[in-house]
């Protein structure tokens, strides 16, 4: 189970407007994209080749899903 503490230990940095890069221990885990009322979790180290793994209603949950993957 991924907790809030795990999210705190990950770096979530805005890479582009509406796109956040999720980094843990200097390794890119994936990206979170704001798409209307949803946040899309993309798993992968390179943005344009990452794969959608979930859609959620808030960014923190999208980050937790990436960290749990």
Does residue 6 surpass a pLDDT of 80? no
Domain count, the chain: 1
Domain range for 43 is 4-68
Query: Coil, helix or strand for 10?
Result: coil
pLDDT band per the 50, 70, 90 thresholds, residue 5: low
Distance CA 24, CA 40 (A): 18
User: What pLDDT score does 8 carry?
Assistant: 60
User: What pLDDT score does 9 carry?
Assistant: 79
User: What pLDDT score does 30 carry?
Assistant: 98
Q: pLDDT tens digit string along 16-69? A: 999 999 999 999 999 999 999 999 999 999 999 999 999 999 999 999 999 998
Measuring CA to CA, how many Å separate 27 from each of 15, 21, 35, 56, 58? 15, 10, 24, 23, 23
């Amino acid at each position: 189970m991924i907790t809030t503490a795990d999210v705190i230990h990950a770096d979530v940095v805005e890479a582009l407007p509406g796109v956040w890069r999720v980094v843990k221990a200097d390794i890119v885990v994936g990206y979170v994209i704001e798409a209307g009322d949803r946040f899309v979790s993309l798993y992968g180290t390179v943005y344009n080749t990452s794969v959608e793994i979930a859609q959620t209603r808030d960014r923190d949950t999208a980050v937790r899903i990436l960290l749990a993957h």
